[in-house]
Amino acid sequence: MTTVVQSPYSSEQIAAWLRGLLTIAWADGNFDEQEQQLIANITKDELAPCLEWDSLEVITPEELATVLGKNTPTAENFLRTAVMVAIADGTYSPSEDQVLHQFCQALGEPEDILSALRHTIEDKAQATPPIAAPFTAPTPDALTPLRDWLDGLDVQDPRVARFLCKMIPSQCPFERDVTIFGHKIVHIPPLCKINPLYEQLVGLRFRALSYLADECKEDVSEYI
């Protein structure tokens, strides 16, 4: 898969970026070892085939900051995509919140943006062991700053765009299983009913598809 579009990011930055997104995707422990390896192979072989990686593994906050920098537009755009990946399955878990918190600290980005998401797990955490909690935001206004922040993401790299097109479900309101090469990756509930940020997910996926089709001149039929 090739493209003539010049990315503003280096191969090292994209490698760290995708590893960071996978770290979020695996944070809640819903992926077994076989499924993790399957996603890793897809990311390495299909989404970023030109990157020479010995392996595709989780990334530490410190390593991520070394590559993406602190208080940079690149770091902020990474965090936007990381939040999108965290909420793509309609839940926001304590483990995902912990990883995002560490990423924000290492990248020098304010953590206020996570407060609205963190509220969705506070009540359950007091009474039960930490589990993935469905979104229960108190009021739409509480999520307005987060929505505006997420909408500020500009897709500028085909490798990140392909990853997002694969990670964000293409259909709603029907619940479904996401399968790749015959392997079930994750079960997706009816997102538009439980996820108040569903419009942001749909918007990001649409921008990623449009970028690949219009700017990169790629065939996006496999994502539709």
pTM of the model: 0.73
In angstroms, the CA 87 to CA 152 distance is: 17
The ranges assigned to domains in the chain are: 11-223
What pLDDT does 40 receive?
Answer: 59
Q: Would you give the DSSP letter of residue 60?
A: -
Instruction: For residue 170, give both structure tokens.
Output: 């293409």
Q: Would you give the DSSP letter of residue 123?
A: H
pLDDT (tens digit, 9 = 90+) per residue, 41-84?
555 555 555 555 445 577 999 999 999 999 999 999 999 988 88
DSSP notation for 75-92:
HHHHHHHHHHHHHTTSEE
What pLDDT does 210 receive?
Answer: 95
Q: Is the backbone of residue 15 left (phi > 0), alpha (psi -120 to 50) or beta?
A: alpha
pLDDT (tens digit, 9 = 90+) per residue, 121-174?
644 444 444 444 454 544 556 778 888 888 988 898 888 888 788 777 776 644
